[in-house]
């Protein structure tokens, strides 16, 4: 029996978070998906639940996405975790820093829909 894919979504907008969770349920119903709305919860959930892929908003309460990613990259599990950044904050400096931290994909919210997000996450996860 294969292990179910697990995706963790960090998104502070409750409507978008629910839309993404619904899209995952529709497109990949065999995946386990957890959504959180702040960086501290995402960090805790990543350590305890060990997702296969992380969808990361950069501008989140309590702990910003890049700060969360820096902390994750300091652990063995976190170094290997594929990350898809999903944000409207597309300043080149942040995009470059995200790339240096090993982000697998970078999506701008205003230019994509939940279906595309799920598709790109599946590609990054190899599923």
Each residue's pLDDT tens digit, 55-90: 999 989 999 999 999 999 999 999 999 999 999 876
Residue pLDDT, tens place only, 89-125: 767 777 888 889 999 999 999 999 999 999 999 999 9
Q: In which residue are the tokens 């170094």 written?
A: 79
Torsion over CA of 126, 44, 61 and 103, rounded to 10 degrees?
-30
pTM of the predicted protein model = 0.94
Fold of 6-125: Rossmann fold (3.40.50)
């Amino acid at each position: 029996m294969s292990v179910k894919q697990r995706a963790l979504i960090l998104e502070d907008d409750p409507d978008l978070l629910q839309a993404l969770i619904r899209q995952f349920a529709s497109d990949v119903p065999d995946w386990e998906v957890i959504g959180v709305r702040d960086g501290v919860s995402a960090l805790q959930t990543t350590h305890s639940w060990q997702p296969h892929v992380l969808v990361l908003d950069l501008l989140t309460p309590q702990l910003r996405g890049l700060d969360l990613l820096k902390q994750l990259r300091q652990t063995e599990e976190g170094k290997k975790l594929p990350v898809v950044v999903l944000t409207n904050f597309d300043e080149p400096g942040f995009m470059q820093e995200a790339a240096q931290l090993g982000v697998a994909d970078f999506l701008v919210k205003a230019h994509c829909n939940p279906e595309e997000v799920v598709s790109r996450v599946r590609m990054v996860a190899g599923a």
